[in-house]
Amino acid sequence: MKIEYIHGFDYNNEHDFVKIQNNLKKYIELKNRIEENKINVCAGVDLAYWEKDGETYGACSIIVLNYKTKEIIEKVSSHGKITVPYIAGFLAFREIPLIIEAAEKLNSEPDVFLFDGNGYLHYNHMGIATHASLFLNKPTIGIAKSYLKIDGVDYIMPENEKGSYKDIIINNEIYGRVVRTRPDVKPIFISCGNYIDLGTCNKIAMELVNKDSRLPIPVRLADLETHILRQTLK
């Protein structure tokens, strides 16, 4: 898969991170490059971290599925030392190098990528799903398991039934959506990554949920795979 290298990674301070994010925001397009009924291949992306001898390491897994049959087409991974420090709001700068390394191994070309993390639901609208979209040049979706509170705004809990949701509105702008994918389980937090609208993100996520998890299948499988990689590599 071809990657668009939109910036380098020889940065490790908040000033540079903010500058890059602000420059990239003009490339956010919350409109569809592909309709949900035209999707054939989708992918889930997740990363896991561990510490060893005072150093931080990470592993990335990308699981590619047939969107209609839900069968696994391909899975790739990468791992390595993490050199960028953790600073809240700038996680993408730690994760994208490993995501790129894994994505370059793909033989298939997914129509859409689902990330275990946020996209537009971010302090600067540049969560991992949004930031990574500019390298992948593909529609992306953020699927978060927990809520990122911005400007002190809480979310409204949706009804306890499959498919119910509430939009997350901060400063009169819709940042994302809290969605109940199954009754009697915690909701998930969906946001646009890029090149897609929120309604389509919601439809895709619900299409990919089954009885095994509240998470869409490719995200759940990527999450499981990164845990296996972490245990193996540690």
- 166 three-class SS: strand
Residue type, 133: S
Q: Is 154 annotated as a binding residue?
A: no
Nearest to 128 by CA among 192, 68, 42: 192
Nearby residues of 118 by Cβ (< 8 Å), 6 or more positions away: 127, 128, 129, 142, 144, 148, 176, 189, 191
- Cβ neighbors of 226 (< 8 A, separation 6 or more) are 46, 47, 48, 59, 60, 61, 77
Our CA angle for 107, 77, 120, nearest 5°, is 90
> What SS3 state is found at 37?
helix
Q: How far apart are the first and last CA of the chain?
A: 28
DSSP-based helix, strand, coil % in the chain, nearest 5: 30, 30, 45
116 appears as a binding residue in the annotation? yes
Token pair for residue 218?
């490719």
The structure tokens listed for 204 are 């895709």
DSSP lists the bridge partners of residue 113 as 43, 140
Binding residues for Mg(2+): 46, 116
Binding residues: 46, 116
